[in-house]
Amino acid sequence: MKTIPVGVTAATTAAAYIRERVGAAWQTPVAGIVLGSGLGGLADRLEDAVRIPFSHVPGFPQVTVAGHAGQLIVGTLASRPVVMLAGRFHMYEGHDAGLAAFPVRVLHALGAPVYVASNAAGGVRRTFEAGDLMLIADHMNLMFRNPLIGPTEQGDERFPDMSDPYDPQLRALMREAAQAVNVPLHEGVYCGLVGPTYETPAEVRMLEKLGADAVGMSTVPEVIMARAIGMRAVAVSCITNKAAGLSHEKLSHAEVMEAGRSVAGRFEGLISAFVQRL
């Protein structure tokens, strides 16, 4: 594991750099939005966009996953100022949970009160099909890592309450947005595993018994961080495939990316309608 500083000081430095790059056009964002695999197209909908490669942001490591562009984009969506991250840092890349959650600290340091996560996920609920969207109601942390392990940073909660990790009001707003743009939106429990292997069929049966509806390799450390620093979180999974053993298909990253792209139009409409309601 690499030891890159991921605390409040590092986040403040990154945020100062981003504000300076945007210059006079800077407006405090209503939300920070992370785009999952295959969902990066939403970034093209931003108006007055300033694009900053991750490699320019102080404290950000290189993105190593194909299909994650690795850009931070500042602009307006539905006339609301937002900051988007096209790409994220996964633990399976060798990052610890603190680094996986670091961009959330940066979004907070930029003044975003709301954290919107999106991800590609396998459908554990048997009725889920590739292309379905699922609002995350709750999660299970089967990554067995936590970004808050270690000394408490100034302003962080030591023992954050996790009884409502995904903000009920924001979830209601997301459902309302889905209705407004006529996008079917399921709701369920996301289970985070560290990856990078997809699950075995036996593991998927275990996850089903535990109460998971979808499985993926991200989001959990980020939402833990959001709660610890007082941001309200909401998240949407794009079901890119039936989880292993639930169909005869073998899983591949290429298929996950392709399914992400096929749902992109609905996803983009949903998030735009949500942001409009913030």
The catalytic residues are: 37, 68, 90, 92-93, 120, 217-218, 241, 253
71 binds ligand HPA (CB under 6 A): no
| Bridge partner list, 14 | none
* Residue 84 near residue 106, CB atoms below 8 Å: no
Confirm or reject binding of residue 93 to ligand HPA (CB under 6 A).
no
Binding mask 217-256 for ligand HPA (x = CB under 6 A): x----------------------xx-x-------x----x
Residue among 233, 11, 247, 269 at smallest CA distance from 130: 247
Residue nearer to ligand HPA on the CB measure, 108 or 242: 242
- Report the nearest approach of ligand HPA to the CB of residue 65 (Å): 11
**Which residue of this chain has its Cβ atom nearest to ligand HPA in the complex?**
122
Contact call for residue 216 and ligand HPA (CB under 6 A): yes
Instruction: Indicate the residue among 148 and 217 with the shorter CB distance to ligand HPA.
Output: 217
71-77 and 31-35 beta bridge pairing: unpaired
Q: Binding ligand HPA by CB under 6 A: which of 132, 167, 199, 268? A: 199
Nearer to ligand HPA, 62 or 252 (CB): 252
Q: Which stretch binds ligand HPA (CB under 6 A): 60-68, 77-85, 215-223, 270-278?
A: 215-223
Q: Residue 241 Cβ, how far from ligand HPA at the closest point, in Å?
A: 5
Q: How far is the CB of 188 from ligand HPA (least distance, A)?
A: 14
| Alpha carbons 111 and 198: distance in angstroms, whole number | 36
> What is the rounded distance in angstroms from the CA atom of residue 193 to the CA atom of residue 216?
6
Among the listed ranges 24-32, 75-83, 161-169, 209-217, the one in contact with ligand HPA (CB under 6 A) is 209-217
Name 216's bridge partners. 192
Q: Which is nearer to ligand HPA, 5 or 41 (CB)?
A: 41
Binding mask 109-138 for ligand HPA (x = CB under 6 A): -----------xxx----------------
Interaction of residue 189 with ligand HPA, rule CB under 6 A: no
Nearest to ligand HPA of 105, 125 (CB atom): 125
Q: Rounded to whole angstroms, how far apart are CA atoms 245 and 54? A: 36
Question: Phi/psi at 98 (nearest 5 deg)?
Answer: -65, -40
| Interface residues toward ligand HPA, by CB under 6 A | 120-122, 198-199, 215-217, 240-241, 243, 251, 256
